[in-house]
A and B are shown apart, each in its own frame.
Chain A
Amino acid sequence: MSATGDLDVRVPIGLLFTLLGVLLTVYGFLEPAATTAAFTKGGQINMWWGVVMLVFGIFMLLIARPRASRSVT
């Protein structure tokens, strides 16, 4: 396991998506009418896609190997 330095890739992925999810959701909530060019009608996409990413991020964190079992292997 030395070449991975005990880093489970699901942890950074989970953290990144959680963080981006929160950012998008909060931004969508604060600025529901965020400027869009020509087409998109619903500015709400920030909010609902933010939630999707947040859920995925948390899911990745949940399935990441817990630290204890990692140090054993």
Chain B
Amino acid sequence: MASGLTPIGLRWIDYTIIGVYFAFVLGIGWQLRRAMKTSTDFFLSGRSLPAWITGLAFLSANLGAQEVIGMGASGAKYGISTSHFYWIGAVPAMLFVGLFMMPFYYGSRARSVPEYLRLRFDEKTRALNAVSFAIMTVFSSGVSMYAMGALMHLLLGWSFNVSVIVSAVIVLTYILLGGLTSAIYNEVLQFFLIVFGFAPLVIVGLNEVGGWDGLMAKLTTLAVSQGHPAGAYTHAWRGMDAPAHNLIGVEWFGLVMGLGFVLSFGYWCTDFLVVQRAMAADSMDSARRTPLIAALPKMVFPFLVILPGMIALVIGGKGIIPAKIGANGGPLMDAAGRVVLDYDLATPSMLMHLFPNGMLGLGLAALLASFMSGMAGNITAFNTVWTYDLYQTYIRKDADDQHYLWIGRMATVVGIALAIAAAYVAASFNNIMELLQLVFAFVNAPLFATFFLGMFWRRTTGHGAFVGLLSGTLAAAVHHGLTLPYGAVPGVKGGYFGVLDTFPSEMGQTFWTAIYAWTTCFVVTIVVSLLTRPRPDAELVGLVYALTPRPVSSVRAFWERPAFLGVVTLVLLLILNLIFR
């Protein structure tokens, strides 16, 4: 283990636990094999699932590699500030999509997010979204697979090829058998597995570093010794006045607008991967509650996934995060002569060092679960968009339902094959999260402007939406191409059109790229809409806020109402931010 990780070997108990988990994953697919009778069963679970199931799946579908590994990595890099990715970067958007957007997604009976764009705007806007989304899901799925294969090879010496193929075949099998229901059920299972696999890691880890106070004290000492402000690792808001005062390297405006508004709303409110879970709900109330139910655990997830990274940084005095390996085979050094840590190994190192055999199997099963359900989430979204938005629209329009069910199964096979190909092409960033955020910035960042205008301004036209989206994506590419993070060379990190501006960090650059993309899309969509002919109001009923009757909650108990859940979540969010400011 050249990286300095000295893992304990797996024993029969660990293999048994992982094996039992695999058996259950496949067993769920097997149990559901006869339930997939129509394409709606396969792609939307027949719109029959209760809110707590779709809610946990909504949360879990996003809980892939980038979450568990990337958030631990960011925890070690940025400390408590990483919770911004949850508290600012997810929860408000989840509330918004549940309370204000779900009435249109679910109420319009669209079968996918691109299909909503077709209903609201026109064919070309749908095509643009469907194609870019399909590519992105395959890519994300591939990144997930790559990360897993590489990690299992490093930690356990398993063959990269075998890890990738075995996980791909398992995911393929359970989706083929049980469609979206199978994916969602496994996401719920995975949610609990992650909680039960990572909670003890945090408990044991905190215990080792002298509890919460011990961790804070050690991180404060570390921050000072590295020349950072004392609260750099232990306060979420304190250094947010200027990029130089915090580890993320971004100021509060870039953080709140870039991450909290543009990127977060662009992902949670428009990404079919998560919206699909809500569309599978059994009623409008359940669909609206889906993201709200997900938001509650989402708020406390930082404690499960970020804390292991923070603990890994200081445990045992010097931490247990191995150094990156440089070109000469020794540890990689930065310009200042400090060792560069391989942050992506923060959480895995914790598992390997803190868990005895037995618990280790459980932790690895939880990790594998997150990889596989991340993959499955992408594949189920891909097969739906491919079948409904591309195949049924452009290749064969009027076939019977059984044909589309069959095409959906084929798309699952092809999607996974493409993802495997993507896995072999993946990753050049030191932090998976940042790579994914960059892709979001180009494609997803302008999206929320389109949906927002589409849902809340009836004057928005198809031409406006289409041109706006293209301009937004272009603006993202141009901004990224003209800027560079501090210390980087022109290339994949930006600056390929020349360097006009330098950002203190890659994160800051990404956030601002998103802000430019969104603003461009917003303005261009409005201008072009005003210049083109609007659709008559009669065609927009159910698709636009002003022309749609308010959804009346049929739930009697006040605490089950979407609005009440939203307010409670918001109050808790505020309290958390105050505590960890």
Taking beta carbons and an 8 Å cutoff, which residues of A are in contact with B? 1-7, 9, 12-13, 15-17, 19-20, 23-24, 27-28, 31, 34-40, 43, 45-46, 49-50, 52-53, 56
* Residue tally, chain B, CB below 8 Å to A: 51
Pick from A16, A28, A40, A53: contact of B189, CB under 8 Å: A16
Q: Are A7 and B185 in contact, CB atoms less than 8 angstroms apart?
A: yes
**Any chain A CB within 8 A of the CB of B7?**
yes
| CB proximity to A under 8 Å, residues B331-379 | 352-359, 362
Residues of B within 8 A of A46 (CB): 356, 358-359
Chain A residue numbers with a CB within 8 Å of B357 are 27, 31, 34-35
Interface of B is mostly: helix
Of chain A, the residue at the smallest CB distance from B315 is A39
- Known contacts A5-B35, A16-B24, A34-B358; decide if A56 and B45 are in contact (CB<8 Å): no
CB proximity to A under 8 Å, residues B149-203 = 178-181, 185, 188-189, 192-193, 196, 200
**Is the CB–CB distance between A24 and B362 below 8 Å?**
yes
Which residues on A sit within 8 Å (CB–CB) of B34?
A: 5
Query: Could you list 6 further interchain pairs (A-B, Cβ under 8 angstroms) beyond the known A23-B16, A40-B204?
Result: A5-B31, A7-B35, A13-B188, A27-B13, A34-B356, A38-B316
What chain B residues lie within 8 Å of A20 (beta carbons)?
17, 20-21, 362
Nearest B residue (CB) for A48: B200
Query: Which residues of B46-80 are within 8 A (CB) of A?
Result: 46, 48-49, 53
In the complex, B109 has a CB within 8 A of chain A: no
**Smallest beta-carbon distance B9→chain A, Å:** 8
Task: Given A13-B188, A46-B358, answer yes or no on A3-B20 (Cβ-Cβ < 8 Å).
Answer: no
CA distance A17 to B179 in the complex (A): 24
B132 within 8 A of A: no
Q: Which residues of B lie under 8 Å from residue A28 when comparing CB positions?
A: 358
B358 cross-chain contacts in A, Cβ below 8 A: 23-24, 27-28, 31, 34, 46, 50
A36 to B20, Cβ gap below 8 A?
Answer: no
Contact A37 B17 (CB under 8 A): no
- Which of B17, B31, B35, B356 is the one whose CB lies under 8 Å from A3? B35
* Chain A residues whose CB sits within 8 angstroms of the CB of B28 once the complex forms: 7, 9, 12
Q: Mark B201-233, 1 if CB is under 8 A from A, else 0.
A: 000100010000000000000000000000000
How far in angstroms is the closest Cβ of chain B from A3? 3
Contact between chains at A39 and B208 (CB < 8 Å)? yes
Instruction: Give Cα A16 to B369, complex, Å.
Output: 13
* B467 contacts chain A at the CB level, 8 A cutoff: no
A45–B32 Cα distance when bound, in Å, is 35
Contact check, A4 vs B356: say whether CB atoms are below 8 A apart. no
B42 → chain A, closest Cβ, in Å?
8
B36 located at the interface, meaning its Cβ lies under 8 Å from any Cβ of chain A in the complex: yes
Residue B326 at the chain A interface, CB threshold 8 Å: no
From B42, which residue of chain A is reached at the shortest CB distance? A3
Q: Which of B35, B48, B358 has the most CB atoms of chain A within a 10 A radius of its CB?
A: B358
16 contacts between A and B (CB under 8 A): A3-B46, A3-B180, A4-B32, A4-B49, A5-B34, A9-B53, A9-B185, A16-B21, A35-B357, A36-B356, A37-B6, A38-B353, A39-B204, A46-B356, A46-B358, A49-B196
Chain B proximity of A49: nearest CB distance (Å): 5
Nearest 5 CB-CB pairings of A with B = A5-B35, A3-B46, A3-B41, A34-B356, A46-B358
Residues of chain B with a CB closer than 8 A to A39's CB: 204, 208, 315-316, 353-354
CA distance A56 to B8 in the complex (A): 28
- Interface: B535 (CB within 8 A): no
Q: Are B204 and A45 in contact (CB under 8 A)?
A: yes
CA distance A72 to B363 in the complex (A): 39
Q: Which residues of A contact B46 (CB under 8 A)?
A: 2-4
For the complex, give the distance between the alpha carbons of A49 and B199 in Å.
Answer: 10
- Give the CA-CA distance A34 to B355 in the complex, in Å: 10
